Each structure stands twice: as structure tokens, then as C-alpha cells.
Amino acid sequence: MNNISIGRYIPYNSKIHRLDPRLKLFSMILFMVMIFLRFGGAQTNYMDFIVYGFIAVIILIIMAIAHVKLSLLFKQLKSLWFVVLILLIINLLMPNDGPYFLIFNTLKIYHKALYDTAYIFIRLVLMISLTMILTSTTTPLDLTYAIEWYLTPFKIIKVPTHEIAMTISIALRFIPTLLDETDRIMKAQASRGVDFQNGKFREKVKAIISLIVPLLVSAFQRSEELANAMEARGYNPGAKRTRYRILKWKWLDTIALVLSLSLFALILYVSIAKIDIVVLISGLLG
Amino acid sequence: MPINFDHVFYTYSKKTPFEQVGLEDINLSFNDYKFIALVGHTGSGKSTLVQHITGLLLPDKGVVHVDDYVITPKKKENKNIKKIRENVGLVFQFPEYQLFEDTVLKDVAFGPKNFGVSEKETIERAKSAILKVGLDESYFERSPFDLSGGEKRRVAIAGIIAIKPKVLILDEPTAGLDPQGSKKMMQLFCEINKNGTQIIMVTHDMDLVLEYADHVLVMKDGKVAKESSPLDLFSSSDYKELSLDYPCVFAVATELIKKGMKIDLTKIKNLDTLVEEIKKGRDSYE
Ligand SMILES: Nc1ncnc2c1ncn2[C@@H]1O[C@H](COP(=O)(O)OP(=O)(O)OP(=O)(O)O)[C@@H](O)[C@H]1O
Ligand SMILES: [Mg+2]
């Protein structure tokens, strides 16, 4: 019930924490693209795993610098086993060809089904670690500043960028509050005999209602209070606003940008040129 | 009902940068007292302590005994928690956020119904609980969301009273109520207490402690700093170091004693007894 620290900002003072949020957002997108590329020739599939291993090592290094604990990642992955199971079942049921082995002498297990499952799973793990690095090293407010900055060009076509950014930042700001609220209401209802874990379907539905209704009521109440407070202090979305925190590009950011761009170029080249490390090395040796 | 704490430790958000001590080596026994007051500075761990009694928080280390039931650190070992909650009612700080049904009557009936009380008795209990907290029949069919803050509080308290627990825990039940309302509320608790329900009340109001409690527990930084009768607590100078207030009636009495009036502090419990003592003292003065 407690320990909902997943996806939360964790205040350390590492190099990664101090990087410009715009850069962090951009680099994360680059990494995501890298993860979605395909590598190696059509027949050989080990290249995917070699490149993913390489990216994983880099992500691990970044996590170490950023004080993001592996245990936190595992905690999050624990809730993923169900997804993996479903993936595996779907892949096993898919019509396939190629090499296979038999279990119980009847069930055909195609190598490709196992391979596909592992492939999707690794991608998922990599993406989760990336978002975790971003959210645990960047305050929600900084993240919105970054998003707003990227949206600036759209101002020309009258996209209300400031309002969008404000909405996002308020939403992010209230996630921990709502989680605390959920925890509190669950405890209050548990004191009145609600069992959130066990029970028949009907009881479960009632339990959920007893949580959702007060949560919604208090969320609406909060939003009204916030709106009133903002108006009382003269908030006007159309007005030009200055900012308390001004994003400053530093040397470290340039270095990080160059690093991520070169990594991206390298991976992109490996993908497009269909480079196969094994062939490459045996070619060099022989 | 016997309640015992045996070397109980609890830490919030363990192993994250948000780590925060909740309880530290708590050893307690609540057996011999009828009305226990739990006092201490903001953040001293009072709410954390009471949540351990009903298993809403499980200790990191140590054991809590409630009657024949045991609450241990391991989630799987705690099968009887619902039974504990039937016997120990907990009214939270600001309980008005737990209301969710469409009528007051239904909401108050929610608790007893969950604990398997028959339909007919549930309604009877709910009606009598609502009347007890000082609301009349016209409230039965009203929506709990249309009530004022104080009325919501009463409904929430009625929701716990209707369960008829053997121990009633109140976390600052009178905070934010008008003086008349809070006095009525205290009279209600007193009556419930006289009918054999043990009461554990968290409060910042030392006059309430003096008037109602037969035992005080002072918390400080997650530890129990002092345990004594109210009179002992306020007669020694400890209460100052524990950053507690002095009861108003005692403040008046000590001033008069300083001026030479003969007043017996041990007889003073509330305003009425203070007046009586002053009258007696005045007679001897002249
Ligand atoms: N959900 C939570 N997550 C993290 N820390 C918490 C949480 N709840 C309480 N704490 C911390 O634990 C400590 C004890 O809190 P607790 O709520 O028990 O205090 P309290 O004595 O009830 O205070 P108050 O008189 O203000 O109600 C505090 O330092 C508080 O910051
Ligand atoms: Mg509290």
C-alpha cells in the first residue's frame, strides 16, 4: 500500500540530476528510437541481443551515476511477470514455422516463439529503465518546462502551449497527493471492515466504490480549491509570464548531447548497414 | 481488551531517500486503563502508533498483541486482522473523507454490514449511532456530501460507533469542531466509555486530557517519552520539556495558589471543579 516510490523524483545531486531537462528528454527519445531499430540480417537474430546488451550496459552506467537503484527497477519489473506470461502464451499459440522442439511429445514449441517473447521483454525492460531514469532525476516541474520549450514552435499556429504545460505540471504535481489520499481512504475503509485483497466479486466491487467515490469527491474539491487560489492570486493564462527557474545550458549538457548523438549515429549505422559483428570479426581474423 | 506492544519499530518509505522514522522501540501495555490519552508534538508518531493497533500498518520489527490476536511484520501471517478491526474501531484524523454512500443512514450502516451484522440490526445500530452523535432523524436520508464539515465528521464517527467496537481509538476527534459541538462529542465518548468501551484518544488539548483520561502517554520522535497519570504529568515539570501545554484550569489555579489561596490541585478536573475549589479556597481565605 505504501512504498509507492515508482516513477517519483528522487532528490540526489548527481551529474544526471543536474543536466538540462530538455537534453534529458531529447536523449530519452533518441534511446527509445534506438531500441526500436532492428539489427543484423534477416536470418541471423543474435545481433539484436548483442546491441541490446550494449545499450543495457550504457543504461546501467547512467543508472549508477544517477543513483537510481536496481532494486527499484526490479520492484517495478515484478509487476510485469503477468504481461510476460501473456506474451509467451500468445507467441506460443501463433502459427509459426522453422525449428521447434517438442514437450510431452505433442506440444510444438517453436524457437521463434521463445525468441519473440524474449525480444519484446527486453525492449520493455529497457524502456522502463529509461523512463525511470528520466522521472527519478528530473522534477516534474523541470520536465514540464522542457515540454513547453519543445512546444514553443507550435505557438505560431496558435497552440496554447503554456496552458498545455500548466495542465501537465498540475497533473504531475498532484500524483503523489492523490496516492497519499488513496492510501488514507483505503485505511479508513479498511477500518470499517472493507477487505481490498480478498472477497467475492460483489464485495470487491463495493470495496472499489468505497475507494473511488471519496477519491473523486476530494479530487474535484481540490481542483476547485486550486482554481480559486490561482484566480485569487491573479492568474491569467493569456498573460505573459516570467519564470522563477530559468533553464541554462551548460558545458556538461553539450558533452552529454554529443555523447548521445554519437551513440545514436553509431547504432543507426549498425542498423542500416546491417552490420553483423560475428561476420565482421571472422572477416577480420580470416 | 489487552493491547501490548513488544519492541515495535516502524520506518516510512524504507530504503529510499524519503526514509522517515515512524516508531522506535515501542513497548506498551494498555490493559489497566479505561481512557488513555495519547499526546505529543506534531509528527511524534501518534497516528503511526494507533494504526499499528488495527494492523493498518505492519511493524518492521516487533509484535503487537491485541487480545488473542497477534500482528507481526509478515503480511501472510496476519490472517485475523479483520477480527481485530471489528473489535478495535479507529476514527481517523479528518474522517469526513471516508463518506461515499448516497444517504447518511447507508453510510453509517456500511461498517456493521461489512462485519456480518444482520440487516435489521445494522439499520437499528446505524439509526441509534446517528442520534447519539447529535444529528436527528431528518439526516437519515440526506446525502453525506451536502453536509457541513462538522456534520460530516459526526456521520463518520457514527460509522465507527455503529460497529460497537470494544476499543475505540480517536485520532484528534474534536479538531476543527465548534466549542459546543466538541463538548457534546466528548460527552458522547465519555458515555460510551462508561458503558465499558476502552478509549484511546489522540489529542493536543491538555484540558481534555486532564478531564477525561486516567492515563497519559507522551510521544516524542517516535518513542514513548513518558507514561503517567494526568495529574503526575502536570505536577512535575516534565511537561515543559516535552513541549506540552499546561491545562488552562491548572494555570488559573496555580496563579491563585501563588497569591496565597488554598486550592487542592488534585481535585481539579475541569471548569466546574475549578469553580468549586475556588469557592472553598475563598471561604478559607476570608
Ligand atoms: N505516509 C507517510 N509517508 C512518509 N512519512 C510519513 C507518513 N505519515 C507520517 N509520516 C512521518 O512519520 C512521522 C510521524 O507521523 P505521525 O502521522 O504518526 O505524527 P502525529 O504524531 O500523528 O502528528 P500530528 O499530531 O500532526 O497528527 C512524521 O515525521 C511524518 O512526517
Ligand atoms: Mg496524527
The answer to whether residues B140 and B104 touch, using CB atoms and an 8 Å cutoff, is: yes
Residues A168 and A62 in one domain: no
Q: Is residue A25 located within the same domain as residue A118?
A: yes
User: Lowest-confidence range among A8-12, A53-57, A127-131, B181-185?
Assistant: A8-12
Q: Do B159 and A187 lie within an 8 Å CB cutoff?
A: no
- What is the residue with the minimal CA distance to atom 25 of ligand 1? B42
DSSP-derived letter for residue B21 is E
- Quickly count: other Cβ atoms within 10 Å of residue B206's Cβ: 24
The percent of residues above 70 in pLDDT, for chain B, comes to: 99
The length of chain B, given as a count of residues: 286
pLDDT confidence of residue B62: 93
In a domain, A243, yes or no: no
Domain extent for A24: 1-160+248-286
**pLDDT given at position B181:** 84
- The answer to whether residues A170 and A52 belong to one domain is no
Grid coordinates given for A41: 540480417
Asked if the model's pLDDT at residue B68 lies above 80, the reply is yes
Task: Evaluate whether B84 touches B66 at the Cβ level (below 8 Å).
Answer: yes
User: Considering the domain boundaries, does residue A58 fall inside one?
Assistant: yes
A94 in a structural domain = yes
Edge-to-edge strands, sheet with B88-91: B88-91, B167-171, B198-202, B35-40, B215-220, B223-228
Q: Are residues A104 and A173 in the same domain?
A: no
If you compute the radius of gyration of chain A from its CA atoms, what whole number of angstroms results?
Answer: 24
Residues A21/A245, Cβ–Cβ less than 8 Å: no
The confidence score (pLDDT) of residue A141 equals: 83
Encode pLDDT of B174-205 as tens digits. 887 888 888 888 999 999 999 899 999 999 99
Helix, strand, or coil (residue B170): strand
Average pLDDT in the A12-19 region?
Answer: 90
Averaged pLDDT, B135-155: 91
Spacing, Cα B47 to ligand 1 middle (Å): 7
User: How far, CA to CA in Å, does B10 sit from each of A186, B36, B51, B55, B259?
Assistant: 19, 22, 11, 12, 48
- State which ligand 1 atom lies nearest to the alpha carbon of A180: 1
Coil/strand/helix, residue A262: helix
Which has the minimum average pLDDT: A145-149, A192-196, B13-17, B99-103? B13-17
Per-residue model confidence (pLDDT) at position A69: 85
Q: List, for residues A104-123, the tens digit of each pLDDT value.
A: 777 777 777 888 888 888 99
**A46 in the same domain as A93:** yes
Mean per-residue pLDDT over chain B, rounded: 90
| Span A247-278, pLDDT tens digits | 888 999 999 999 999 999 999 998 888 888 77
Residue type, B116: G
Distance of CA A132 to the CA centre of its chain: 6
Give the distance (Å) from ligand 2 centre to CA of residue B135: 26
Among A7-16, A164-173, B1-10, the range of highest mean pLDDT? B1-10
Question: What confidence category does residue A6 fall into, taking pLDDT thresholds of 50, 70 and 90?
Answer: low
The answer on A192 and A272 residing in a single domain is no
The pLDDT assigned to A44 comes to 60
Determine whether the interchain pair B85/A191 forms a contact, defined as Cβ–Cβ distance below 8 Å. Answer: yes
Say if the Cβ atoms of B110 and A210 lie within 8 Å.
yes
Show Cβ contacts of residue B37 under 8 Å, excluding neighbours closer than 6 positions.
B201, B202, B203, B208, B209, B212, B213, B215, B216, B217, B230
Distance CA B170, CA B154 (A): 12
- What's the pLDDT score for residue B268? 86
Q: Would you say residue B141 has pLDDT above 90?
A: yes
pLDDT band at A182 (very low <50, low <70, confident <90, very high): very high
Look at B111 and A188 and tell me if their CB atoms are within 8 Å.
no
A133 plus A96 within the same structural domain? yes
What atom in ligand 1 is closest to the CA of residue B172? 27
Q: Which phi and psi angles does A109 have, rounded to 5°? A: -105, 110
Q: What percent of chain A has pLDDT over 90?
A: 35
How far apart are alpha carbons B16 and B12 in whole angstroms?
A: 9
Q: Which helix (H) or strand (E) holds B89?
A: strand B88-91
A197 vs A157, higher pLDDT: A157
Question: Which segments within chain A are labelled E, that is strand?
Answer: 100-103, 107-110
Tell me the pLDDT tens digit for each residue of A212-230: 999 999 999 899 999 999 9
Q: Which residues pair with B38 in a beta bridge?
A: B202, B217
Residue to probe by mutation, ligand 1, list B14, B20, B39, most atoms within 8 Å of CB: B20
Q: Is residue A241 part of a domain?
A: no
**Which residues lie below 8 Å from residue B55, measured CB to CB, with a gap of 6+?**
B64, B71, B78, B81, B84, B85
Query: What's the pLDDT tens digit per position in A183-212?
Result: 999 999 999 999 888 778 888 888 999 999
**Chain B residues whose beta carbon lies within 8 Å of the beta carbon of residue A219:** none
For chain A, what is the domain count? 2
d(CA A69, nearest CA chain B) in Å: 9
Q: Which residues of A are less than 8 Å from B114 in CB distance?
A: 192-194
- Residue A198 has a pLDDT of 78
Residue to mutate among B51, B93, B114, B148, with most A CBs inside 10 A, is B114
Residue A179 lies in a domain: yes
Give the closest residue to A137 by CA, choosing from A258, A8, A236, A238: A8
d(CA B35, CA B48): 19
Count the helix, strand and coil residues of chain A and give each as a percent rounded to the nearest 5: 70, 5, 25
DSSP-based three-state secondary structure for A96: coil
Do A50 and A122 belong to one domain?
yes
pLDDT for the residue A2: 42
Same domain, A2 and A83: yes
A135 is a domain residue = yes
Alpha-carbon gap, residue A25 to A44, rounded angstroms:
33
Cα-Cα-Cα-Cα dihedral of B41, B45, B51, B52, to 10°?
-140
Rounded average pLDDT over A25-52: 85
Other Cβ atoms less than 10 A from the Cβ of A25: the count is: 19
**Predicted TM-score of the model (pTM):** 0.80
Question: Both A10 and A96 in a single domain?
Answer: yes
Of the candidates A26, A44, A61, the one whose C-alpha atom is nearest the C-alpha of residue A264 is A26
Residues A257 and A198 in one domain: no
Q: How far is CA B95 from the centre of its chain?
A: 13
Atom of ligand 1 nearest to the CA of B219: 21
pLDDT tens-place string over residues B195-253: 899 999 999 999 999 999 999 999 999 999 999 999 888 888 878 888 888 888 888 98
Kindly state whether residues A143 and A254 are assigned to the same domain.
Answer: yes
Residue A3 banded pLDDT, cuts 50, 70, 90: very low
Q: Are the beta carbons of A92 and A113 closer than 8 angstroms?
A: yes
For residue B162, with 0-12 CB atoms within 10 Å meaning exposed, 13-18 middle and 19 or more buried, which class applies? Answer: buried
Q: What is the mean pLDDT of chain A?
A: 86
Q: Is B40 in the pocket of ligand 1 (CB under 6 A)?
A: yes
**All three cell numbers of B8:** 515495535
A242 is a domain residue: no
Query: Residue A221 domain-assigned?
Result: yes
Does the pLDDT value for residue A1 go beyond 60? Answer: no
ipTM score over 0.90, yes or no = no
* Nearest to A2, CA basis, from A135, A210, A180, A172: A180
Residue A41 has pLDDT above 80, yes or no: no
